[in-house]
Amino acid sequence: HLTITGILSSPPKRFLDRIAASHGYSLESLNLFPKHGLTPQSLLLPSSSASTEKFHALKSFAFDASFPPANQQQQASWAIAFESMAKSMPALESLAIAGDGIICAKGFNALAKHCKGLKFLQLHEFAENVDAAVFVAGLKKFAAIEHVHVSFVYRVQRAGIATAASKKTGDKCGKEDGGITPVIGVTLAKNCPVLKSLKIGNGNLGDLVMEVYREVRREFG
């Protein structure tokens, strides 16, 4: 287990690579919370580096990210960093990320592709291009997922996740964008058989989804 917090104001490039070089194959849990958060450059692992294999046993990873991406180039850098990270951590079971708008559609899909054993996923806020359809399509690929918590989804709401008002009436919000409603519980029940909790924002949308989820799972027997 390794925790680094508050001692670095600005992590160096390929910070994760340096940790791998120092701690070898011994890490199963890694928490990185430097003063101003990690940058995509500090997460990057070169594909040719032996460091990519040294995190193969890592089961838990938590980190704080730097400021939100200011443009598409910065967002693309985060996507590359997430793909690099996901490829190097195939045994990951728990991932917690604090950071606004750093997880774009490409980054989320990389996690779904390479971290298939993920059980716990806690995110702060998605990038604007992660709409409801991308969120659900990515989530259903995590067959082992048990707990999902997305703290803030106001950007995703603009792309289709139901608002508090629409949840009360049962209507879809952002219908043209495939807005999330409790009905997605059917999709999750078919693809995520061990899901126990889903929290989206501060409302009860996650609870409503789980009600449908449990009902469908009972039908599956």
Put residue 23 in one of left, alpha, beta given phi > 0 → left and psi -120 to 50 → alpha.
alpha
Following DSSP, what letter does each residue of 58-124 receive, concatenated? --EEEEEB-SPP-SHHHHHHHHHHHHHHHHH-TT--EEEEE-EEEE-HHHHHHHHHH-TT--EEEEE
For the entire predicted model, the pTM comes to 0.81
Amino acid at 154: Y
Closest-CA residue to 125 (of 177, 201, 209):
201
Instruction: Show Cβ contacts of residue 169 under 8 Å, excluding neighbours closer than 6 positions.
Output: none
Following DSSP, what letter does each residue of 164-195 receive, concatenated? HHHHHHT--SSGGGT---TTHHHHHHHH-TT-
> Under a CB-based contact definition with an 8 Å cutoff, are residues 123 and 150 in contact?
yes
- Fold of the CATH domain 2-220: 3.80.10
Chain mean position to CA 10 = 23
Q: What is the largest CA-CA distance in the chain?
A: 55
Residues forming a β-bridge with 38: 65
Amino acid at 72: Q
pLDDT tens per residue across all 221 residues of the chain? 777 676 554 556 677 777 877 776 678 999 988 877 888 888 877 665 666 678 888 999 999 887 778 888 888 999 998 998 898 899 999 999 988 888 888 889 999 999 999 999 998 877 777 777 888 888 999 999 999 998 765 444 444 444 433 333 333 333 333 357 888 899 999 999 999 999 987 778 899 999 999 999 998 76
What is d(CA 87, CA 77) in angstroms, rounded to the nearest whole number? 16
Closest-CA residue to 161 (of 198, 193, 201):
201
The torsion angles phi and psi of 36, rounded to 5 degrees, stand at: -110, 15
